Chain A
Amino acid sequence: MALLRRSETVIAGILLLAMVLIGTINPAFWQLDNLFSLMRSNVIIGIMAMGVLLVLISGGIDVSFPAFAVAAMYLTIKGMLALGYNGVVLPLLAATLMGLAFGAVNGFFVYKFRMIPLIVTLGTSAMVRGFLLGVVGTSMININKMPTALIDFGRTDVVSVTKADGTTYGLTAMVLIYLGLALAMHLVLRYTMIGRSAYALGGDPEAARRAGFDLRKTIFFIYCVAGALAGFAGLLHSGMIWLANPRDFVGLELDVIAAVVLGGASIFGGRGSVLGTMLGVFMLVMVKNSLIIMRVDTTWQLVVVGLIVIAATALSAWRDRRRAA
């Protein structure tokens, strides 16, 4: 009974239904290579979604992470090229730290000046993007210049299958990184006080202050983690597509926020889970992927994502109101 009332169960049910529906329209959906490619598309959005989930739970919102991701990615690769460094671990660390530093700026303005997170992150997003294109550069770095270590890392598979016609396809190992980070986020949210403080802050900031939570710590933690995850995901992304484009990730914030809200997180704060978010990400990626297969125009894809945001938010608002009643 309790299982039925959980939003995750409902989302999983809807997801299953959608999969059956899409599978009937397009039987190729259930083919292994399609499923592998779907999971691959989950990785970057999923990692970013973990950060957005944390921010939404705390009652905030973040639209700056795509800008942070692209800046961390492009700066790191530029740096690697300039230094002639070819590796994986250090650059990923560097990109993560860069994202963290950007996130700290968000945290500073949200905490210190009690500014609305939407305005703060809109501002930092524009500044970071502008700085990147204006000062660092506008040219793409493509496969022949990309550091080979990153590319090799990005093409690692966990399993690979050879088709009858001799071509091979596989499931990218990046999925494991995504799962690992998701598990870590789940543990943080559920089993640490800092995770619980995010829920408390999102539930009632005044009560959280009175209870004695260190809200400065909580707010910095939240925006730093969101930034760090974005920086990490940014660099990982370039390794997976063998390309560093300083104009990448435009409009991605809508997709990620849509996925997180679809996964049951409340836009008003206080509610949301990692499992739900993963399901939401999968659903969103699947829907977009099917639109592409059905050759729906990208502009119409945008309409669909917008609709999803509004429908999912309306649903969660309705749910929260009913709970409060």
Chain B
Amino acid sequence: MSDGFIELRNIRKVFAGVVALDAMSLVIKPGEIHCLAGENGSGKSTVIKIMSGVYQPDGGEILIDGKPISAMSPIEAIAHGVQVIYQDFSLFGNLTVAENLAMNVHLGEKRRLMNWRRTRAIAREAVDRLGVELDLDAEVASLPTAGKQLVAIARALMSDARLIIMDEPTTALTRKEVETLFRIVRDIQARGIAILFVSHKMREMLEISERITVIRNGRKVAEGPTGDFDEALITRHMTGGDILNEPYAWIPPPGPPPVPRLEIRGLTVPGKCEDLSLAIRPGEIVGLSGLLGSGRTDLALALFGMVPRYEGEILIDGAPVRLRTTQEAIDAGIAYVPEDRLTEGLFLPQSIKRNMLATSYERLARRLVIDRSQAEEMTQGMVRAMQIATPTAEKPVMQLSGGNQQRVVLARWLLTDARVLILNGPTVGVDVGSKAEIHAKIRELAQHHGLAVLMISDDVLELVQNCNRLVLMHRGRFIEDLPAAAVTEETVSDRLKTFT
């Protein structure tokens, strides 16, 4: 009855007591572009690993061309034409593009000797087949992310692939690169190869896919042609409810205006930003947007003590502070959640607890020894407050899904008793449901705990919905400071487009 190339039936997968997949079903038809949508931790990556033979299911069936496969190993998956493009691409940065492309062919033929001329020929063919420009002699480490991705795709196409799986392929790409990628994806499809796509970006899903499967808590909850879905519907299936999007309103307290939590006067970082002045009062959430290189990250870094040679004044609660090191910034009550949580924020192999307490140890160890019970209490509280899906705080952060990892970073900074919270891309790689929860948490912190929040984001909608004020930055200067109530996503996006 199945007309699918590959089909999962009632797949179950349990990790040490955590049910990652429970009666999960999925059908991929030959030559279709299929999107898998689901919240963080819903089991998307696990589905992919089952299909590629990395994990063995604890129950259920895998069918290829309608025939059941008893136990699928990675090699068998490849033999059946299933190719995965990993988020880290699984390339050798120290080797050339040509060698990376030809490696699997050599290994498949069990060769003992390396024939460089043949390596180039194989690579040439692979690149030509993809129809892109790639310098075969370039070292892969020297390529930009989009280039690495092309190498990975070219490699996947070499073995007679029938299905190419991409796990969040667009997170690290610019809009233009995404367009190129989509063109290539459609090209691949035209050759009869199916594509399974995982993304958190609704618009991209709706734009590229033909069919969508939505998964929640390890189960399929909806499936159908893309035309039957819209953003709201996907969201409802993913979260099991609607997400309310009320704009954030900040009402100044009666009486004289309160002293700003954070005030900067004439802040200048030579060559990066110039003469910036801004005041954020307790409870305010100020959004900051601008193109890449507008100086917005430099401002954040200066506020976090990472640019010791800034000029101008920074005041916290009216008192001038001088921020030359991150420790001074933390002591002044500033918390910074960086853009790239993986390289700047988290220690992946370490436990959730350790990651959460990373900046609090000094405070916990006032009396030379660490107060263990207090540490335990703090982490437990945070795991609950941030709704991190884990049975224990001892679990390595590596084993959490992307969205839960982001919550760990946030939790760490909330534990420092910060008064000023600077968020750089707070919800990159986070699904809609968790996004809403993280936003709610940020609002609560501002509203009930009087934090001043500076939220930097590329996602204009995120800013418009969660900030009471919006500041636009261009070439190191503040161009506009608008009340959020006066703008819409469109007007801000249009304004940003005029910055070139």
List residues of chain B with CB within 8 A of the CB of A196. Answer: 99, 103, 106, 114
Please, which residue of chain A has its CB at the minimum distance from the CB of B108? Answer: A212
CB of B75 within 8 A of CB of A202, answer no
B339 an interface residue at 8 Å Cβ cutoff?
no
Surface stretch bound by A, among B35-43, B89-97, B386-394: B89-97
Please, which residue of chain B has its CB at the minimum distance from the CB of A272? Answer: B94
A193 an interface residue at 8 Å Cβ cutoff?
yes
Residues of B68-120 at the interface with A, using a CB-CB cut-off of 8 Å, are 74-75, 86, 90-95, 99, 103-104, 106-108, 111-114, 116
CB of A191 within 8 A of CB of B113, answer yes
B142 an interface residue at 8 Å Cβ cutoff?
yes
B99 to chain A, nearest CB (A): 7
CB of B107 within 8 A of CB of A212, answer yes
B113 to chain A, nearest CB (A): 6
B313 an interface residue at 8 Å Cβ cutoff?
no
List residues of chain B with CB within 8 A of the CB of A202. Answer: 94
CB of A204 within 8 A of CB of B91, answer yes
List residues of chain A with CB within 8 A of the CB of B74. Answer: 210
B293 to chain A, nearest CB (A): 15
CB of A204 within 8 A of CB of B92, answer yes
CB of B95 within 8 A of CB of A199, answer yes
Chain A: residues with Cβ within 8 Å of the partner, total of 25
List residues of chain B with CB within 8 A of the CB of A191. Answer: 113-114, 116
B139 an interface residue at 8 Å Cβ cutoff?
yes
Q: Report how far A210 CA is from B111 CA in the complex, Å.
A: 17
B111 to chain A, nearest CB (A): 6
B291 an interface residue at 8 Å Cβ cutoff?
no
List residues of chain A with CB within 8 A of the CB of B108. Answer: 212
The CB with the most chain B CB atoms within 10 A, among A192, A194, A195, A211, is that of A211
Please, which residue of chain A has its CB at the minimum distance from the CB of B78? Answer: A212
A268 to chain B, nearest CB (A): 9
In the complex with contacts A193-B106, A323-B139, A200-B114 CB distance below 8 A: no
In the complex with contacts A212-B75, A323-B142, A324-B141, A193-B92 CB distance below 8 A: no
Please, which residue of chain B has its CB at the minimum distance from the CB of A202? Answer: B94
A206 an interface residue at 8 Å Cβ cutoff?
yes
List residues of chain A with CB within 8 A of the CB of B94. Answer: 199, 202-203, 266, 269-271
Residues of A249-284 at the interface with B, using a CB-CB cut-off of 8 Å, are 266, 269-271
A145 an interface residue at 8 Å Cβ cutoff?
no
List residues of chain A with CB within 8 A of the CB of B114. Answer: 190-193, 195-196
The CB with the most chain A CB atoms within 10 A, among B112, B141, B142, is that of B141
B250 to chain A, nearest CB (A): 40
List residues of chain B with CB within 8 A of the CB of A213. Answer: 107
List residues of chain B with CB within 8 A of the CB of A25. Answer: none
CB of A193 within 8 A of CB of B112, answer yes
CB of A207 within 8 A of CB of B95, answer no
Please, which residue of chain A has its CB at the minimum distance from the CB of B110? Answer: A193
Q: Report how far A217 CA is from B91 CA in the complex, Å.
A: 21
A177-212 interface bits toward B, Cβ cutoff 8 Å, 1 = contact, 0 = none: 000000000000011111110011011101110111
For chain B, the bracket of interface size reads 20 to 34
CB of A200 within 8 A of CB of B92, answer yes
List residues of chain A with CB within 8 A of the CB of B106. Answer: 193, 196
Q: Report how far A245 CA is from B13 CA in the complex, Å.
A: 62
Q: Report how far A194 CA is from B114 CA in the complex, Å.
A: 9
Q: Report how far A199 CA is from B114 CA in the complex, Å.
A: 13
Please, which residue of chain A has its CB at the minimum distance from the CB of B137? Answer: A2
CB of B92 within 8 A of CB of A203, answer yes
List residues of chain B with CB within 8 A of the CB of A208. Answer: 92
List residues of chain A with CB within 8 A of the CB of B99. Answer: 196
Q: Among the listed A193, A210, A270, A324, which residue makes an inter-chain contact with B90, where contact means beta carbons less than 8 Å apart? A: A210
CB of A204 within 8 A of CB of B113, answer no
List residues of chain A with CB within 8 A of the CB of B92. Answer: 199-200, 203-204, 207-208, 270
Q: Report how far A269 CA is from B108 CA in the complex, Å.
A: 25
Residues of B133-153 at the interface with A, using a CB-CB cut-off of 8 Å, are 139, 141-142
List residues of chain B with CB within 8 A of the CB of A271. Answer: 94
List residues of chain B with CB within 8 A of the CB of A212. Answer: 75, 104, 107-108
The CB with the most chain A CB atoms within 10 A, among B90, B104, B114, is that of B114
List residues of chain B with CB within 8 A of the CB of A199. Answer: 92, 94-95
A139-165 interface bits toward B, Cβ cutoff 8 Å, 1 = contact, 0 = none: 000000000000000000000000000
CB of B112 within 8 A of CB of A192, answer yes
CB of A211 within 8 A of CB of B95, answer no
Q: Report how far A266 CA is from B95 CA in the complex, Å.
A: 13
B421 to chain A, nearest CB (A): 29
A212 to chain B, nearest CB (A): 5
Q: Report how far A200 CA is from B94 CA in the complex, Å.
A: 8
In the complex with contacts A191-B113, A323-B142, A211-B93 CB distance below 8 A: no
Q: Report how far A125 CA is from B95 CA in the complex, Å.
A: 32
CB of B93 within 8 A of CB of A270, answer yes
In the complex with contacts A212-B104, A323-B139, A193-B93 CB distance below 8 A: no
List residues of chain A with CB within 8 A of the CB of B113. Answer: 191-193
B246 to chain A, nearest CB (A): 42
A136 to chain B, nearest CB (A): 39
B54 to chain A, nearest CB (A): 9
B139-177 interface bits toward A, Cβ cutoff 8 Å, 1 = contact, 0 = none: 101100000000000000000000000000000000000
CB of A324 within 8 A of CB of B104, answer no
Please, which residue of chain A has its CB at the minimum distance from the CB of B89? Answer: A207
Residues of B58-76 at the interface with A, using a CB-CB cut-off of 8 Å, are 74-75
Q: Report how far A17 CA is from B58 CA in the complex, Å.
A: 65
Q: Among the listed B86, B95, B111, B142, which residue makes an inter-chain contact with A200, where contact means beta carbons less than 8 Å apart? A: B95
CB of A206 within 8 A of CB of B90, answer yes
B377-409 interface bits toward A, Cβ cutoff 8 Å, 1 = contact, 0 = none: 000000000000000000000000000000000
12 contacts between A and B (CB under 8 A): A190-B114, A192-B114, A194-B112, A196-B103, A199-B92, A200-B103, A207-B91, A211-B107, A212-B107, A212-B108, A270-B92, A323-B141
- Give the B-binding residues of A (Cβ under 8 A): 190-196, 199-200, 202-204, 206-208, 210-213, 266, 269-271, 323-324
- Give the A-binding residues of B (Cβ under 8 A): 74-75, 86, 90-95, 99, 103-104, 106-108, 111-114, 116, 139, 141-142
Top 8 A-B residue pairs of the complex, sorted by shortest distance between their CB atoms: A270-B94, A203-B94, A203-B92, A207-B90, A212-B107, A191-B114, A324-B141, A323-B141
Add 19 more A-B contacts to A193-B113, A212-B104, A323-B141 (CB < 8 A): A192-B112, A192-B114, A193-B111, A193-B112, A193-B114, A196-B99, A196-B103, A200-B95, A200-B103, A203-B93, A203-B95, A204-B92, A207-B91, A210-B86, A210-B90, A211-B104, A270-B92, A270-B94, A324-B93
